[in-house]
Amino acid sequence: MSRKFDPVSVASPFHWALEDLHVSIRPPGLGQPWCLDVDVERLSTGESESMLWDVNTPSSLARRSNERSPTILTIRPEFPERDLMIVADQGIGDIVQQWRYVPQVAAQFDRVRVQCRPELHRLLRLQGLRIEPVTPEQAQAEPAKVQVALMRMGALSSDPTGGRPYLKLASQPAATRNQGRLRVGLNWSARATGAATDLKSVPLALFAGLVRGHPEIAWKSLQWGSAGDELRAHSWAAAIEPLEAMADVADLAAAIAGLDLLISIDSAPAHLAGALGIPVWNLLSRPCSWRWGLNAPGTSLYRSMRLLRQAHQGEWGAVIDELEALLGSLQDAPVPVSLDAGRQRPGIDPAARMPSPDHNADARLAASIPAAPDAGAAPLRAMRLEDALRMCRQQLDLRTVFVSTPLELLASLGIEVGARDYGGLAEIFKAMVECHGGFSWCTPLFREDTLQGRTSNDALA
């Protein structure tokens, strides 16, 4: 969070306050269809967040900045221009997630540059694409004809990976056991700055029983940054091999590639493991990022990833207990080990697809749509947007689908929202925040257990 804004001065379809947050939504300054400019201010600290939200890719929030030239694509690129700048100014995890879209879009251009932080440059060069990683200063010195934010690439291209691995390394280390021991990595803390640091991070001390109880495991720290120094403060943590000095993200990816399993919070190492096809158990706070949905144990983003979720905000104990049970099931597993849903399944590729309710969304959606009052058992296929959003708030199955694919769900109810119906899009965004239980990058707006009893008027108050 950085730039402050004055919500009173912003002309917007919606401006509302929930607990410590003021949220302002308005049509996008660059006129993008299907998008909204979203500003969130935390009143107690004055911190603010300026984002672009795209209803077609709701999990990909693009950061807005008024200090630099616009980096959000306003129209689909005309390929004859053949000069593309991809602006990757998000966190490393977001960049790794979105890289899946780059190859097939970049193939349409003669020249492609990626503006990103220098520690990513070597990893991107290893991908074997005709791209030039550049710094922001280099990008500003030679502007491209077409610019697109990496976080909006999903609006230009469907996901070609199907959740399969897509990152390459110079050499792929084989996951080997130390004297027959599983190599398991730990990543417990988010970056030192950021609104969601405390929300996402797990206190290192909570892993003490796990590490002590599994001496058969070769534990390795994958904590990149100053949080890795915490190991020296705990005698039991001597069983965890510290992370050696890392020059850049390519070094971090190589360390992850040498593991049998990574246990990680929602941060860059989890994305790197998923993109490399390394089994990873992702420990999720409540609320978590929208990209992980509401209750699925797996994700279509990464087939090798299992999602372990808090039941209540701030309560990690049950998640650690679940980890203990899963690790117990792996104790005698041979290498290579399959960690699909935490079960030993010899002979199955470690990147086997995790079970996810989202894969059955169509069938669940059809079963969840209520009958029309005047049409017997006939499904209700046309209603007002207000009624549909109220229904999504009240029904768990619908909330799950709505947060992941809002336009598809609304279309199944007979509601088509126009590309520039910014009032309708603002209502959808607000309902998604409420259904999800808050913003993942800010303090939660309210507890999920209070949502069940809310009426539409209560939720909009």
Q: 234 exposed, middle or buried (CB, 10 Å; 0-12, 13-18, 19+)?
A: middle
Domain layout of the chain by residue ranges: 7-63, 79-155, 182-355, 358-460
Q: What pLDDT sits at residue 397?
A: 83
**What pLDDT, on a 0 to 100 scale, did the predictor assign at position 267?**
93
3-state secondary structure of 111: strand
β-bridge pairing 48-54 and 62-63? antiparallel
pLDDT along the chain (461 residues), means of 10: 40 74 86 87 78 80 59 50 85 93 89 94 95 94 86 82 94 61 93 71 96 95 85 94 94 96 96 97 92 90 96 93 89 47 34 39 46 42 85 89 90 91 93 83 49 33 24
- What pLDDT is stored for residue 194 in this prediction? 58
pLDDT on residue 231: 93
Host H or E run for residue 59: none
pTM: 0.81
Contact between residue 53 and residue 35 where contact means Cβ atoms under 8 Å apart:
yes
| Amino acid at the residue 155 | A
Position 176 scores a pLDDT of 55
Backbone phi, psi, residue 121, to 5°: -60, -45
CATH for 182-355 is 3.40.50.2000
Question: Residue 354, class by beta-carbon neighbours within 10 Å (0-12 exposed, 13-18 middle, 19+ buried)?
Answer: buried
CA 45 from centre of chain:
25
And the tokens for 301? 């983003």
